[in-house]
C-alpha cells in the first residue's frame, strides 16, 4: 500500500486546485460537494537507472493516494455535523496536508475578507479537535461500561482517553500533546485526525508571494510544531499538470521551479513521516517499496510479503550508489559489495534487496 494523504482547509482556500496540481486529475474546482481521490505514481529518478541495469518487463513504482475534501468552516463539525462526515473521509490517511490561502486577490472569493494564516490554521485545528473529541466521547462511553464491570485493561484505556479528551477540550491538538507510546496505543483504534502529522501548504498566486508576510507567518507555525511547509503556486501548477508530461519541466522552469509540486510534497512528506524507499530488482520486475527510516530488515521484508517477515533468515543487500558506480550485479559481486545482513540490519534509502526466508 502506498502513502495516503488528505487535503484539508477552509472553503475556497485552494484545496482542489492543489489537488489538481499534485495529481493532474483535472477535477472541477471550487464549491464541490464531493470528495476527490486519486492515486499517482511516485516519481523517483533512481527507477530509470535501475531500468537501464535490469531491463525489467515490469516496473512497479511507489504510489501516493491523495484525498481532497470540501472545505471545513468554523463550526461545521460541531454536534456531529457535516464536517464530521467530511473528516471521516480522511480518517485513514498517514498525513494531513493543510492548504492555507497566502495571497491577496479580492476577485477570488474566499471564506473571509482578509488573509490570515494563523486564524485559518486555528480554525481548521479546532474543527479537527471537535471531531476527535466526539470520537473520544463515544469511545469513553463504551469503555466506561467495561471498566465498571472490572476490566482493568479497559480502565487504563479509559483513563488515557479521558486525559487526551480533556487536553483537546483545552485546545491542544493530539499531535501536540506529547503522548507516550502506551497512550498512543490506547488511542490507536480512534484514528484521531488531530494526531496525524501535519504538513502545511502555502497556496500562492505569483512568485512575489513566496516571501510575503502570510507565507512567513505560516512557516513559523510549521516551525513551532516541528513540521514543514511547502509553497505551491496552485493555479499555475494545476495548469501545468494538464500539459504533456514531457512539456512540464520547461514550464516549471519558466516559473523558477525545478521540481513539480508533487515532488516537493513527497520530499516533505517522506521527511516528516521518516520514510525511505528500497527496491527489489531483476529482469522480471523493478519494484519500489516504502518503509520507515530505522526499520529493521524483517519489518521491511514484511512490506513485500508477510511470509518474508515471519520466516526471515537474512537479506542480501546492494547499496544503490555501489550498483550505479559499478554498473551491474556481477561487478558488485566481483567487488565484494553485496552484503549479507541479519535481523538487526536497518534499511538504507535506495537499498536493492533479496530476502532469504523460510516459507
Ligand atoms: N489565481 C489563483 N486562483 C486560485 C489559486 N488557488 C485557488 N484559486 C481560485 O480560488 C477558487 C477556489 O479554489 P479551489 O481550489 O476550488 O478551492 P477549494 O479549497 O477546493 O474549495 P472548496 O472545495 O469549495 O472548499 C477557484 O476559483 C480557484 O481558481 C491560485 O493559486 N491562483
Ligand atoms: Mg474543493
The ligand 1 atom at the shortest distance from the C-alpha of residue 105 is 1
Which residue, 64, 66, 71, 76, is CA-closest to 11?
Answer: 71
What pTM was computed for the model? 0.90
Max alpha carbon distance in the chain (Å)?
A: 68
Q: Are residues 56 and 197 in the same domain?
A: yes
The CATH number given to whatever domain includes residue 307 is 3.10.20.30
Task: State whether 183 and 308 are in the same domain.
Answer: no
pLDDT at site 31: 64
Considering its fold, how many domains does the chain have in total? 2
Q: Are residues 45 and 169 in the same domain?
A: yes
Q: How far apart are CA 133 and CA 164, in angstroms?
A: 9
Q: Which residues contact 126 (CB under 8 A, 6 or more apart)?
A: 74, 171
Cα(12) to centroid(ligand 1), Å: 5
Q: Please name the residues in contact with 148: beta carbons below 8 A apart, sequence gap of 6 or more.
A: none
CB-based contacts of 332, cutoff 8 Å, min separation 6: 318, 322, 323, 326, 338
Which residue has the CA at smallest separation from atom 21 of ligand 1? 12
Looking at the structure, tell me whether residues 261 and 301 fall in a common domain: no
Ligand 1 contacts CB of residue 101 (under 6 A): no
Q: Is 341 exposed, middle or buried (0-12, 13-18, 19+ CB in 10 A)?
A: middle
Residue 15 phi/psi, 5° resolution?
A: -60, -50
Among the listed residues 1, 31, 38, 39, the one whose alpha carbon sits nearest the alpha carbon of residue 14: 31
- Asked whether residue 95 is assigned to any structural domain, the reply reads yes
- State whether 304 and 267 are in the same domain: no
Q: Which residues of the chain have pLDDT under 50?
A: none
Q: Write the DSSP symbol of residue 42.
A: P
Cell 466521547, located at residue: 137
Q: What is the pLDDT of residue 26?
A: 83
Its sign, for the CA torsion 129, 135, 141, 143, is negative
Q: Which domain holds residue 104?
A: 3-271
Amino acid at each position: 500500500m502506498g502513502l495516503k494523504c488528505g487535503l484539508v482547509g477552509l472553503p475556497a482556500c485552494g484545496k482542489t486546485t492543489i489537488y489538481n496540481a499534485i495529481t493532474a486529475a483535472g477535477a472541477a474546482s471550487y464549491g464541490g460537494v464531493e470528495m476527490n481521490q486519486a492515486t499517482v505514481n511516485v516519481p523517483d529518478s533512481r527507477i530509470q537507472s535501475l531500468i537501464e541495469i535490469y531491463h525489467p518487463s515490469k516496473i512497479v513504482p511507489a504510489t501516493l493516494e491523495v484525498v481532497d475534501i470540501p472545505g471545513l468552516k468554523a463550526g461545521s463539525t460541531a454536534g456531529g455535523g457535516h464536517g464530521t462526515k467530511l473528516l471521516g473521509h480522511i480518517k485513514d490517511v498517514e498525513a494531513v496536508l493543510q492548504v492555507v490561502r497566502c495571497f491577496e486577490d479580492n476577485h477570488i472569493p474566499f471564506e473571509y475578507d482578509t488573509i490570515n494564516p494563523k486564524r485559518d490554521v486555528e480554525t481548521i485545528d479546532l474543527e479537527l479537535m471537535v471531531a476527535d473529541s466526539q470520537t473520544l466521547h463515544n469511545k469513553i462511553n463504551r469503555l466506561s461500561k467495561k471498566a465498571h464491570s472490572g476490566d482493568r485493561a479497559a480502565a487504563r484505556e479509559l483513563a488515557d482517553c479521558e486525559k487526551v479528551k480533556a487536553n483537546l477540550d483545552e485546545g491542544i491538538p493530539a499531535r501536540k500533546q506529547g503522548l507516550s507510546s502506551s497512550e498512543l496505543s490506547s488511542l490507536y483504534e480512534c484514528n484521531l485526525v488531530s494526531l496525524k502529522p501535519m504538513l502545511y501548504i502555502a497556496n500562492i498566486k505569483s512568485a512575489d508571494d513566496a516571501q510575503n508576510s502570510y507565507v512567513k507567518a505560516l512557516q513559523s507555525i510549521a516551525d513551532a510544531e516541528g513540521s514543514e511547509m511547502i509553497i505551491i503556486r496552485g493555479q499555475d501548477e494545476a495548469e501545468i499538470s494538464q500539459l504533456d508530461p514531457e512539456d512540464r519541466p520547461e514550464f516549471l522552469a519558466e516559473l523558477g521551479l525545478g521540481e513539480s509540486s508533487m515532488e516537493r510534497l513527497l520530499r516533505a512528506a517522506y521527511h516528516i513521516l521518516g520514510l525511505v524507499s528500497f527496491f527489489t530488482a531483476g529482469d522480471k520486475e523493478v519494484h519500489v517499496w516504502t518503509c520507515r527510516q530505522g526499520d529493521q530488515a524483517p519489518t521491511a521484508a514484511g512490506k513485500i510479503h508477510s511470509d518474508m517477515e515471519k520466516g526471515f533468515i537474512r537479506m542480501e543487500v546492494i547499496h544503490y550508489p555501489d550498483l550505479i558506480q559499478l554498473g551491474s550485479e556481477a561487478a558488485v559481486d566481483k567487488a565484494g559489495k553485496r552484503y549479507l545482513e541479519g535481523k538487526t540490519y536497518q534499511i538504507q534509502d535506495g537499498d536493492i534487496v533479496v530476502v532469504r526466508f523460510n516459507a
